[in-house]
Amino acid sequence: MTEAVGGPILSRLHGLAPLRRLASALAAEGARASLWLPVCLGLGIAGYFALPQEPPPWLPLPLALGLAALAGLAWQRPALRAPALALGLLGLGLLVAMLRTESVAAPVLTEELGPRWVSGQVVQVEIVESRPRLLLDDPTVSGLPAEATPARLRLRLLRPLSDLRPGAFVSLRAVLRPPPEPAAPGAFDFARRAYFQRLGAVGYAVTAPRIDGSAAGDGWSRGFQIAWAAARQALGQRITAALDGVPGAVAVALITGDRSAIPEAVLEDMRLSGLAHLLAISGLHLGLVAGLVFFAARAGLVLIPALALRVPIKKWAAVLAAAAALVYLFLVGATIPTQRAYVMVALALLAIILDRQPISLRLLAAAAGLILLLSPESLLSASFQMSFAAVTALVAGYEWLSRRRAPGPRDRGLLARLGLYLGFLLLSSVIANLATAPFAVFHFNRLAVFGLLANLVAIPLTAFVIMPAALVAMLLLPLGLEAWPLAAMGAGIELLLAVAAKIAGLEGAAIPVRAMPTWGLAAASLGGLWLCLWERPWRLLGLAGPLLAVASIALASPPDLLVSGDGRLLAVRAGDGGLVFSSLKRQSYRRDIWLRRSGSETAQAWDRGGGPAASGLRCDALGCVFEFAPGRRLGLALAGEALEEDCRRVEVLVSLEPLRGLDCPEPRLVIDRFDLWRNGAHAVWLRGGLPRVASVRALRGERPWVRRPEASTAPSPDGRPDE
């Protein structure tokens, strides 16, 4: 790419000073321009997921031919190499995303099914709030044709079963539902993630499962998964037998990746304190495992002179570390985030074997490109975005610092080395927190204020006590001697949880932040990449990206009205910015999401008896009228009897009844039960001009993971779905 922008182009830009300066700057960056290759690939993938509808199925063939033509053009004309390569990678990103979507296609349930007999093979068992949750592979559902049966489904059981293991064939009666849609326009899309996991239904059992046998599974893939799932479950039971309570649940999470047994209060403390990343198996954990094995193996091999003097023990240690990290990868379930972390660790170890720099931006770019090619959907996940943002910023930051830091004395004392370690830890925490802050705000609507302070204690504790003890426990497990290292691990975990609880209990530990628009996240991402990937002073232009992200939050006002897709929950925004809900007793999950996205922490309910629960809101048994501005009213018709009056006096009408044949000319905007059924949850902006509306369906578009409502579930005239 340097040759493309540094030679022929410069000679053709006479009289175009700005373009000439731009080409000179690119040429001066040298090989760093290649770091933008995975960025171009990611932009193509992002473009695919941003499309309002699926590209035509015939597109991959001409797209592949176009990519081949671009490659030939770039080979023959060096002056066009850079733009051809960029365009080619954009097209390749679109192509791999299309092919990945097609390759994972599987039936998805389109409507709720009442209690049906379900049978299938258990491939995973989790404990969620003291109740098992099963993942069934290749299930059968009574009354459902084979071509419409999901490839996988997930069920919650009534009570724990001690003899239930991965590999068991079970049958039970269960209620099945389609994977849930976003709770609000722009909220997390679980159905999209489920599509790429081939998860076509979720639900709950109404009878205890009957175990009909057990097997390793048909095919090597399922058998391999079941074998590791069984080993993971058995290991978790061994850990909790030696270390009970919350420390045991956290130890299971750190060793096997199963966080399901950790109480929600503990998880909330970890989130508020900025330590939740320690519970998610990521590059930190795989890096610690690989690093501990690498240094232990190297130290052990040094003690054998016959080997140390004849073989490259550093490379041998790297091979052993890669093998240990691979075992750990399978042990924790080989999820997409852990696969991503392993790719990064494995490439770093490969660099050691090949006598290359193990940690560099080029290595990071290679890992990102490989992951995006294998699982393009991971680009949309918080774990991908936050992990690469943190590592990219850390590598770029220390790279910049190493070129400007004067070399110090090699023989520092213990206190000097300790101070240097704490200084680098503080700097690393600052860089990582700043780099991941936009993504934390976008995905979780929270900003942990004291996360830096908590990590200064928690990361050394995890690196020097908890994970080494876990590694020793796993090595001694076959000998039955895991109790004492697990006790040491438990002591470290108790201290970690105490730190999390203390930090979470501080006033203002986490600041709620209202939803950031997607363009704000894009600005923060591209600005951060510009700042980190370039080397010359023009990299500072990237600071505009995070500033635009902050501005996007200030410019985007939360909706004034939210209505769930089933019409069972409504909320209006009061004058103080808080949300007033139709009920505080139902749909707590959806209510919490609405609160977080609005930047609020507390909810209040409106008074249906006629009292003023919030400024401008008046309710009776038939519905509510919300005066959102002087002389401007919103009508919420909860019963059909309120429709005729509301049609004459409100500017915006939301009806939980279908408006079949009713003449309602007065409102500028009408949302009825059919609109909710077809388009899912709605958000309405009322203040500052004409009413504006967004729906879940409109934002998601016509994509394979978007469920189309079935005519059989259309609302009946009384507003309830047909039975």
pLDDT digits (tens, 9 = 90+) for 437-483: 999 999 999 888 888 888 888 888 988 899 899 989 988 888 888 88
What does the CA dihedral 313, 316, 317, 320 come to, rounded to 10 degrees? -160
Distance CA 328, CA 347 (A): 16
Flag whether 127 is in a domain: yes
Two tokens, residue 320: 């052993």
Question: Which residues does 472 contact at the CB level (< 8 Å), separation at least 6?
Answer: 485
Question: Which residues does 421 contact at the CB level (< 8 Å), separation at least 6?
Answer: none
Nearest alpha carbon to residue 572 among 495, 630, 625, 497: 625
| 8 Å CB contact between 229 and 216 | no
Question: Domain check: are 522 and 542 in the same one?
Answer: yes
pLDDT digits (tens, 9 = 90+) for 237-246: 899 989 988 9
Helix (H, G, I), strand (E, B), or coil: what is residue 371? helix
**Rg of the chain on CA atoms, in Å:** 28
Rounded mean pLDDT, 583-597: 87
| 8 Å CB contact between 626 and 572 | yes
Distance CA 531, CA 543 (A): 7
**Which of 512, 527, 544 is at the close of a domain?**
512
Distance CA 346, CA 290 (A): 9
pLDDT digits (tens, 9 = 90+) for 611-657: 444 557 788 778 888 887 777 888 888 887 778 777 878 888 888 88
Flag whether 222 is in a domain: no
| Domain total of the chain | 5
Confidence band (pLDDT; 50, 70, 90) for 556?
confident
Question: Domain check: are 441 and 492 in the same one?
Answer: no
pLDDT digits (tens, 9 = 90+) for 63-73: 777 777 777 77
Residue 379's pLDDT is what? 94
Angle at 671 between CA 665 and CA 674, to 5 degrees: 110
Question: Domain check: are 331 and 191 in the same one?
Answer: no
Rounded mean pLDDT, 15-43: 74
Flag whether 381 is in a domain: yes
Q: What is the percent of the chain where pLDDT is above 70? A: 88
Q: Which domain holds residue 126?
A: 113-215
Flag whether 423 is in a domain: no
Flag whether 61 is in a domain: yes
DSSP state at residue 625: E
DSSP state at residue 147: G
Strands 682-685, 669-671: pairing kind: unpaired
| 8 Å CB contact between 29 and 536 | yes
Average pLDDT, the chain: 84
Per-state percent for the chain, helix, strand, coil, to nearest 5? 55, 15, 30
**What CATH number does the domain containing 153 carry?**
2.40.50
Question: Domain check: are 467 and 495 in the same one?
Answer: yes
Question: Domain check: are 594 and 694 in the same one?
Answer: yes
